[in-house]
Amino acid sequence: MIDPGLRAQVGALLAQRSPDTVPSGVLMWFGRTDLGAGGPDDPPLSPEAWTATYARLVAGALPGALPPVATVLAQVQAERYGAVVPLAIVDVDVERPRADVVAAFAAAAAAGRAHCDVAADLVDLVEPGHVFAVGALLPPQWKQRTSSHVGSTVTYRLDGANYLTNRGRALPDRLAVDFGDGRGERTLPWGTTITIDHGDDVEVTITVRVGDGATARVGRATLPLLHDAPPPTPDERWRLTGDPYEGVAGTGWAGTYLGRGNAALTRPVVLVEGFPGGASADYLYAQMNGPGLLDRLRAAGHDIVIVGFDRGTDLMQRNAGVVVAAIGELRARTSAPAVAGGFSMGGLLVRYALCTMERASQWHGVATYLSVDTPHGRGSYTSPADQWFIQELGSIDPRLAVFGALLDSPANQQFLRWWVHDGTAATSPLREQFLADLAAIGGYPATARLLAVSCGRGDGVASMEAGATILDWTGSPFASATLTALAAAGEPTTMAQGACIAVGDGAPPASLPLADDVCWDAAPGGQNVYTGLIASVLADIGCGAPTTAVPLSCSVPTVSALDLDGDPFAPVPAPGTAGPFHDFTTSSVNRIHLDLEPAVVDWIVERLTDPPANERPDA
Amino acid sequence: MSTTTAAPSVAATPLALEDIQGNILRGYRLDSARHYALAGTDAASTRAFVGRLVSGDDALPQITTAATPWSPKPTACLNLGLTSTGLAAMGVPRAVMGAFPPAFLAGSAARAGATGTPDPANPHDVGLGDVGASAPDRWVLGGVSNPVVHLLLSLYTDPGHPHRRTELDATLRAAFAEHGLTLVSTHDAHALPDGRVHFGYVDGLSQPFIAGTPGRRRIDLQPDSSAGDFLLGADHVNIYGGNFAERLPPAIADNGTYGVFRIIRQDVIAFEDLLQRTAARHGLDVELVAAKLLGRWRSGTPLVMAPDADRDVPAPRLNDFDYAPGPGHETYFDDDAGVRCPIGSHIRRLNPRGGVVMGVQHNRRIIRRGIAYGPAFDPAQGADGIERGLVGYFICGDIENQFEFILSTWVNRDFSTYGVRGTRDPILGVQPPTGGTFTIRTDDSRDPIRIDDLPQLTTTRGSLYCFLPGIGALRWLAALAG
């Protein structure tokens, strides 16, 4: 374990950071610092590798020195799969510790010493360097760890806003790009938008040269290409504004996809986005379509209306107003009976919206409510160990910091069973308020058939051992951490502990004890990949080796998705015999949250296209 | 169309030039522009940045006003537009925000949806034309998938002083970072030789002349525009006898106006193909086809003045024409049938001049401040994939009644009117997939020439509805609390 004195020494050195001691504004001092400088031997970077590189720089940047990672990626966050591809160029001078300084601190840390014998002034320990990296920015894609551009034709944009450099530097005069299309390098002005046909290529390498002669820097970016058809374009798109909640209105949008043979909305199925919102129509269509759900419903004559949110992290009461607005738009167009449902948090928002309308004697005309892996009942679950890690050590990488902001967002607090805050895990007051508000308006819509599906199995089989180690970060003298699942027997267990010199200021290693009567990590249910994502970021940092024996853990327990009160490790009862739902189904294995298996899609399609007589709205 | 009494001439009232942003009254003719789309992260820091642009701060370039000395000509000019989202984010009180017109508050993307949604009762209504490839979910700025923009800062520079732009670019970028402003995107423009656009036409010829504006007045059969047609508040009177500021407080309204910032892609190859194809098919000169589509020869000479062949007309006289006799030119050639200048031609649809199409004559004028983007097309290179077009402001005092009306009605509506029935504007209009229609009448016994394979020549790539405040209003914004 790193000696507190050594962490204090590092903290004192970092406290010296200022424009005077770090003239570049970027001090790369933790993890791997040997990033490419724009030479011919630098490896090409995938979109994800470029993001990881940029995140390393932002982690070492003085406040305001570089735009946040999330800001740079925001321009493609909600873009369609075949949208314009911005090329991002990072071209920054940096400071970084000399190799001998790093070695001295490593030796001191490994030996458990409280002090490293180096100069006391930061400026005496660092040397100048440079990082140059080119990347293609792509929107996130459902189920894809690595995104691809969809289509053989790519429209690239060379926007001066994506030239990321030290403060006070202007755009370089000379920019030349080889798009790998056989036409060689072209000198182009900033602001150029250019369309290239890449034919049958499945990956292209784009070479960007900035500057002239001996001072030129060269970077290469790879761009994977998928030649599949992209999701369909909405037939119509609505802007939505809900009634204000606590003085502020939620906003969002809806996209309509007409069913086969329909010239207008005829048999509408409204499906609502889950947390955190802000996804593109393409992303949501791909997610909800799964193994053909939307395509099959449309082929059967149903019209799909996808509802998305501008701020899906906001209070759920506020975004439920957006769903009410969507149903209002629907009702301005058709009085046909509708299906309304939601994926994950979206299911809660639809519940709240329909109950609100019923309470206000507003006709919603929703005959069937469909819940897809929604955290009803006892809510969703995010490993408190993961949450602790993000909260305590997340500052080492801006991507983890973004993750932390999502965990602390109002909506997440509202549907999360255990929210880690100030070193404790508890139910958020926001959740208590939401549940009280929902109960006060009826809990579930009274006039609709209620259907639910779970992405978890229904036989009660645990997915891991209680108290299992889910992440182990070792191999570096500068950091270590161990994260475990909850224990089973209700005994307080130290489920997370660790330390990192990067965030140390002399405080002792932090840890999180927590008592619960259930090892929710192991509960059958839709799974999240948060532990795996943390490990992936740690690997990018290049400090030690994270291992994840169990990269998945329960996200929405089956008993939550079906709103059942019983033991999460017991087989679920027969549909219609317990809980609020008239009918439900589970998955054969625990799947990634919202990743529907074909049998579940069959189940949904059957019930929406040919409901049994006793479940028909007019029965 | 018919002609009636022209709008009364406008009395020139003194303008507070030092309070009016310079790009409203004057085309700078600085051939490079860089537009910075910005989003603030902190209201106070954003206000401080805006304040520094109008405070005489030596460390930052200052907003150019209409009073900025033009001798010697500046090597750089700077102007600022704010979106409704930006104004709200800066802390403009809710009551003041509510006094802005709904179109501005909704913003460009929302208005495209609101006006472009197919109406089952009128399936041919495409609203502003921002549908299909022009829909806001395809834009690179201001669209439904693009990050929010609060400020649009426009730097105009003289290409003869490239170091000046580099210096100012670095200064501004440092200031953005200092004030927590996120640079969302930049949009560069570089004028083509002779003031032409990528379709080869000389552009920007028929700008309204605002009564009271200093400088040389060109010969124009159109009356001067009232300052109130473009400037809000400050007792400016618009063509309707009112003021577009309406309930907006003078502190923010006075001498401001609205600027619709558009990025419009021009499909040069499709355009040249159309010219060549039509010329060959109908035995016409290629340049005559180009002239008929626009209403002017590519040199800028109006067809009304030179119907058969281009001729050299002095630049100051390029607006000395009308389509029919009118007050002061009662014996003028009557081209009511569109024999010289097709009724459906671009400049005639978008500015009927003395003709009354809807409402009051001359009430739909807009000031255009666009510059070409993308390199000049080289036919020898063929299709190079590089996007080309026009980027800049359309300035007007009332977005809904001026800009939106022109787009949704004069550009994209199919009038039941002789000469334009079944058509949309040939340059900007949304054309059906099978091709649009354009009619060229002849002055002999031949049937009109009908072009029925008109491709869509332009695509909207981005759009922002901005408010261009007066200098006093910028100071008022900078001084807001909260």
| Residues A496-528: tens digit of each pLDDT | 888 888 775 545 566 777 767 788 999 999 999
φ/ψ (deg, to 5) at B189: -140, 145
In the predicted model, what is the mean pLDDT of residues B179-184? 95
Mutate to test the interface with A, among B49, B126, B145, B267 (most CBs of A within 10 A): B145
Contact A192 B169 (CB under 8 A): no
Burial (CB < 10 A; 0-12, 13-18, 19+), residue A297, is buried
* CA within 13 Å, CB half, B390: 26
**Residue B355: predicted pLDDT:** 65
Tokens of A589: 């294995």
Contact A80 B137 (CB under 8 A): yes
**Residue A509: predicted pLDDT:** 60
In the predicted model, what is the mean pLDDT of residues B443-459? 88
- For chain A, the average pLDDT equals 93
Q: What is the C-alpha to C-alpha distance for residues A434 and A428, in angstroms, rounded to an integer? A: 10
Q: How distant is the Cα of B383 from the closest Cα of chain A, in angstroms?
A: 10
Model confidence band, residue B353 (pLDDT cutoffs 50, 70, 90): confident
Check CB contact of B161 with chain A, cutoff 8 Å.
Answer: no
Report which residue type is found at A67: P
- Which residue did the predictor score with more confidence, A318 or B120? A318
In the predicted model, what is the mean pLDDT of residues B146-174? 94
Q: Nearest-CA neighbor of B42 among B186, B185, B177, B154?
A: B177
Q: What is the C-alpha to C-alpha distance for residues B47 and B475, in angstroms, rounded to an integer? A: 9
CA distances (Å), origin B111, targets B106, B187, B315, B424: 6, 22, 37, 20
Q: State pLDDT tens for residues B366-423.
A: 899 999 999 999 888 888 999 999 999 999 999 998 999 889 888 888 776 777 788 8
Contacts of A63 in chain B (CB under 8 A): none
Return left, alpha or beta for B374; rule: phi > 0 is left, psi -120 to 50 is alpha, else beta: left
**Residue B354: predicted pLDDT:** 74
How much is the CA Rg of chain A, to the nearest whole Å? 26
Q: State pLDDT tens for residues B36-60.
A: 999 999 999 999 999 999 999 999 9
Three-state SS across B68-137?
Answer: CCCCCCCCEEEEEEECHHHHHHCCCCHHHHCCCCHHHHHCHHHHHHHHHCCECCECCCCCCCCCHHHCHH
pLDDT for residue B26 is more than 90: no
Q: What is the C-alpha to C-alpha distance for residues B168 and B190, in angstroms, rounded to an integer? A: 17
Q: Nearest-CA neighbor of A311 among A271, A256, A349?
A: A349
**Residue B329: predicted pLDDT:** 79
For B120, which of A155, A194, A264 is closest by C-beta distance? A264
Model confidence band, residue B5 (pLDDT cutoffs 50, 70, 90): very low
Query: Cβ–Cβ contacts within 10 Å for residue A571, how many?
Result: 15
In the predicted model, what is the mean pLDDT of residues B145-171? 93
Q: What is the C-alpha to C-alpha distance for residues A442 and A358, in angstroms, rounded to an integer? A: 9
Tokens of B476: 């008022």
Q: State pLDDT tens for residues A519-565.
A: 899 999 999 999 999 999 999 998 899 999 888 999 999 999 999 99
Q: What is the DSSP string of A108-122?
A: HHHHT-S---S-SSG
**Residue A381: predicted pLDDT:** 96
Report which residue type is found at A233: T
Helix axes A316-331, A345-359, angle to 10 degrees: 70
In the predicted model, what is the mean pLDDT of residues B152-167? 92
In the predicted model, what is the mean pLDDT of residues A460-478? 91
**Residue B279: predicted pLDDT:** 96
Chain center to CA of A109: 34
- For chain B, the average pLDDT equals 88
- Which residue did the predictor score with more confidence, B350 or B260? B260
In the predicted model, what is the mean pLDDT of residues A465-482? 90
Q: State pLDDT tens for residues B201-217.
A: 998 777 888 877 777 66
Check CB contact of B45 with chain A, cutoff 8 Å.
Answer: no
pLDDT for residue A617 is more than 50: no
**Residue A533: predicted pLDDT:** 93
Q: Nearest-CA neighbor of A57 among A70, A66, A44?
A: A66
Any idea which residue has 């510790």 for tokens?
A97
Return left, alpha or beta for B422; rule: phi > 0 is left, psi -120 to 50 is alpha, else beta: left
**Residue B280: predicted pLDDT:** 96
Contacts of A252 in chain B (CB under 8 A): none
**Residue B8: predicted pLDDT:** 46
**Residues of chain A whose C-beta is under 8 A from some C-beta in B?**
64-65, 67, 71, 74-75, 78-80, 83-84, 155, 157, 159-161, 167-171, 173, 188-197, 236-239, 253, 264, 280-281
Angle at A105 between CA A101 and CA A111, to 5 degrees: 145
Q: State pLDDT tens for residues B103-126.
A: 999 999 989 865 444 454 555 677
A577 has which bridge partners? none
ipTM above 0.95, yes or no: no
**Residue B120: predicted pLDDT:** 47
Model confidence band, residue B461 (pLDDT cutoffs 50, 70, 90): very high
Model confidence band, residue B2 (pLDDT cutoffs 50, 70, 90): very low
Q: Nearest-CA neighbor of A344 among A368, A371, A319?
A: A371
pLDDT for residue A343 is more than 60: yes
User: Which 3 state secondary structure label does DSSP give A285?
Assistant: helix
Contact B144 A189 (CB under 8 A): no
Query: Cβ–Cβ contacts within 10 Å for residue A592, how many?
Result: 15
Tokens of B418: 């002789």
Pairing of strands A203-210, A217-226: antiparallel
pLDDT for residue B176 is more than 90: yes
pTM: 0.90
**Residue B113: predicted pLDDT:** 61
The secondary structure element, H or E, covering residue A194 is strand A193-197
CB A438 within 8 A of CB A308: no
CA distances (Å), origin B445, targets A380, B291, B307, B448: 80, 21, 17, 9
Contacts of A64 in chain B (CB under 8 A): 177-178, 180
Return left, alpha or beta for A373; rule: phi > 0 is left, psi -120 to 50 is alpha, else beta: left
How much is the CA Rg of chain B, to the nearest whole Å? 22
Give A619's DSSP letter.
-
Contacts of A280 in chain B (CB under 8 A): 145
Contacts of A195 in chain B (CB under 8 A): 385-387
B392 has which bridge partners? B262, B370
Model confidence band, residue A615 (pLDDT cutoffs 50, 70, 90): very low
Nearest CA in chain A to B37: A161
Contact A195 B387 (CB under 8 A): yes
CB B184 within 8 A of CB B39: yes
pLDDT above 70 coverage of chain B, percent: 92
Q: Nearest-CA neighbor of A17 among A126, A168, A130?
A: A126
Q: State pLDDT tens for residues A177-211.
A: 999 999 999 999 999 999 999 999 999 999 999 98
Check CB contact of B125 with chain A, cutoff 8 Å.
Answer: no
Contact B113 A67 (CB under 8 A): no
Give B404's DSSP letter.
I
Q: State pLDDT tens for residues B260-308.
A: 999 999 999 999 999 999 999 999 999 999 999 999 999 999 999 999 9
Contacts of B182 in chain A (CB under 8 A): 67, 71
Model confidence band, residue B11 (pLDDT cutoffs 50, 70, 90): low
